[in-house]
Amino acid sequence: MGKKRIVFLFLGFLILFVVFWYSKGYSDKYIQWGDTVKSVDTNILERNNIPYKVKNNKVYIPEDAFNKAIMCCS
């Protein structure tokens, strides 16, 4: 009984570790963040590990990083 419990606990922690380790990526769908490049401080995005793209003088961030960007950059 004791060995089975230890094995199940180990497997549970292993599953949690794998889920949290691989869930840090962002989606490929980007949304506009701010009006122009001049109105967005891209240094703050870089410091908070939020990827961004600049197209036509506008900054775009991944859609699922939107809440993180609000918390750190507003």
pLDDT computed for residue 11 by the predictor = 92
Give the whole-angstrom CA distance, residue 36 versus residue 12: 46
pTM for the whole thing?
0.64
Half-sphere exposure of 5 (CA within 13 A, CB side): 2
Q: Give domain limits for the chain.
A: 2-73
> Is pLDDT at 23 greater than 70 in this prediction?
no
> Is pLDDT at 70 greater than 70 in this prediction?
yes
Cβ(68)–Cβ(62) below 8 Å: no
- Please name the helix (run of DSSP H) or strand (run of DSSP E) that holds residue 28, with its range, or none: none
Half-sphere exposure of 44 (CA within 13 A, CB side): 14
